[in-house]
Amino acid sequence: MSTDSLTRRGYLAAAIRADGRPVTTEHAVQLLDGSPYAAGRNTVRKQLGGLAKDGALTSTDINGRRVYVPNTPEGSA
């Protein structure tokens, strides 16, 4: 994944899609660790909220924890 034209939000969305499973804020922070976009929990929480607002992720609560699931483009399996 090239970081030349990506923002933190774009990088995070791509990392979540590549990971292929629902993510919590903690897991998203781990996905960004070691990348040029590493950030703390509060920043990542805001990025996840923005991705959900933009329609890239769906947020839900599982066992009292906020979880984000990537949305699949229409027509893909």
List the domains of the chain with CATH numbers.
Answer: 8-70 (1.10.10.10)
pLDDT reading at 75 higher than 80: no
17-73 pLDDT per residue, tens: 999 899 999 999 999 999 999 999 999 999 999 999 999 999 999 999 999 999 876
For residue 30, the model assigns a pLDDT of 96
For residue 35, the model assigns a pLDDT of 93
pLDDT reading at 3 higher than 70: no
What's the CA gap between 62 and 67, in Å, rounded?
7
For residue 20, the model assigns a pLDDT of 87
C-alpha pair distances (Å), 67 with each of 3, 34, 55: 25, 22, 14
